[in-house]
Copies of this chain bind each other. A is one copy, B any other.
Amino acid sequence: MKNFEYYNPVRILFGKGAISKISMHLPEGVPVLLVYGGGSIRKNGVYDQVISALGSTEFYEYPGVQPNPVYEQLMPALDIIREKKIGFILAVGGGSVIDGAKFLAAAACYTGTDPWEILSMHAAVKVALPLGTVLTLPATGTEMNGNSVVTRLSVKHKLAFGSSAVMPVFSVLDPEVTYSLPKNQIANGIIDAFIHVLEQYLTYPSKAEVQDRFAESLLMILRSTGSKVFADSEPDYDNMANFMWAATNALNTSISMGVTSDWSTHTIGHELTVLYGFDHAVSLAIVLPGVMTHLSVKREQKMLQFAERIWGITSFDHQAAIMESIRLTEDFFRCLGVKTKLSDYGIGAEVIGQVIDQLKSHDVNMLGGAGDLSIEDVPAILASRI
């Protein structure tokens, strides 16, 4: 096992009615900026619960955060933060709203020229406004980590930053607020969380047994209970609760401690989203089987462990076992209603050059953290997905 440092001070308020506990964890006497998305929270009662929980707290609103949150849309919020002396950001929404709020929290305290440098130049984020979240879509895990991904449309860049300064002070996870989610968003959330686990697990043996077993636990739950959540004609509280807590644990950094992580599927997937507007999870579902197939020999040991422990496949023919596990993984995504080939979306070989150009524009040469994938591997991976 590699050396590691683990630190996760996010307070999780989990369960029915948990939104009402927000007020106990807000700093006193400080104006709050309520950040949210397209307005679904106004229809499903979440907005009302939040306003009620805020009580007499002075607050302002910044709605309209888009999926794959957009730099250009976020920046005007900084004026409100300055003018109203905002001291706390409350993000109510899914991963995009929370990631957008994290960027605002960091940007509000940024002392350089342009906050975009936080993303483009990896400018260190040592101070940020404190923030809390009310999660409405189990998927990204951002509610319990210090990561954020933001897109700048004008330059077609979708970039990430990370800092413990933007870890939420608290995150509310009430499974009941997810009951009104459309099925495709639930499917996206299941796939997103499943692939988050794989990005941290499916590389090389690190002799990290707790991390491996925990990762496998989450994969089994996301596969079995995730499928139930997708199939349930009426929402089932416990199924949703288990999916929700599994998705959070999938990216709260615990399973990445002391192991070799990857994230190459995300690197390629981000470019597909920027180029074609794919949902984040859909882009991952398209790319992952290509990455797995391409690395099936190099990563044989861990892929066999995945095949055996998650899909129950054992075979003397190791590559056959791995290929079967990839097929079952892709089937799992398709059973959740997500098409997994670029050709399913009318995209052909032109994608290869476009993605390569994008990667080059960010100076990406090596992909992921495992050191076994470079930009030269990307054409073969994408070609296998057409």
Contacts and interface: CB of A to CB of B under 8 A. Distances in A.
Interface residues of A, number: 39
B8 A14 contact: no
Interface in A117-176: none
Contacts of A8: 8-9
Interface in A1-39: 1-9, 11-18, 21
A5 B12 contact: yes
Contact of A5 (B1, B11, B218, B257): B11
Nearest to A144: B6
Interface string A202-220: 0000011110011011101
A169 to B, nearest CB: 10
Contacts of A246: 209-210
B11 A249 contact: no
A7 B11 CA distance: 5
User: How many copies of this chain does the complex contain?
Assistant: 2
Given A213-B217, A221-B210, A241 B12 contact: no
A319 interface: no
A229 to B, nearest CB: 12
Contacts of A213: 214, 217-218, 220-221
A235 B13 CA distance: 41
Given A11-B7, A14-B257, A258-B15, A1 B210 contact: no
Contacts of A245: 1, 208, 210, 258
Given A4-B15, A15-B258, A216-B217, 14 more contacts: A1-B15, A1-B241, A1-B245, A3-B18, A4-B14, A5-B13, A5-B21, A208-B241, A209-B242, A210-B218, A210-B246, A210-B249, A213-B214, A214-B214
